[in-house]
Amino acid sequence: MDMTDPNNNQADLDSMIDHGYLNEITGGDAELKGELISMFEAETDTQLGNISGASNAGNFDALKQAIHKYRSSLFSVGLLKTAAKYKEIETALKQGGTVSNLSGTLADLERESKVGLTILKNL
């Protein structure tokens, strides 16, 4: 999802984050929320790099592991819809299936994750 895309309205961007879930896991504690977002920010580039690297190498076992780890991070900051999309890929790979346009789908999810991070940092 591109924040500069005029087809993305504010409601679409706002719906990326499950604010209720984020408030639930932080108990409404703004400091804890900030810490979770900071940890997510610090890990995002590394984890997305691991996903991309495993995909580019065709190492689907490593890709499944990298996706699984990153999904936990996405959950920790309320990016549940993005996590669910990664879960679909992880499940298909675990079942020995293929994902059509895997590299394109992963690139789209990487952009979506980064948009989500930008939104989180501006909360």
pLDDT of residue 11: 60
CA distances from 19 to 23, 53, 61, 88 (A): 6, 31, 32, 22
Q: Is residue 2 part of a domain?
A: no
Q: How far apart are CA 4 and CA 59, in angstroms?
A: 33
Backbone angles phi, psi at 65, to 5 degrees: -65, -45
Rounded mean pLDDT for each run of 10 residues along the chain, 123 residues in total: 50 82 96 97 97 97 98 97 98 92 97 96 92
Boundaries of domain holding 32: 10-121
Q: Is residue 59 part of a domain?
A: yes
Q: Is residue 81 part of a domain?
A: yes
Structural domain total, the chain:
1
Assessment of whether the complete model's pTM goes beyond 0.85: yes
pLDDT of residue 30: 96
CATH number, domain with residue 46: 1.20.120
Q: Is residue 4 part of a domain?
A: no
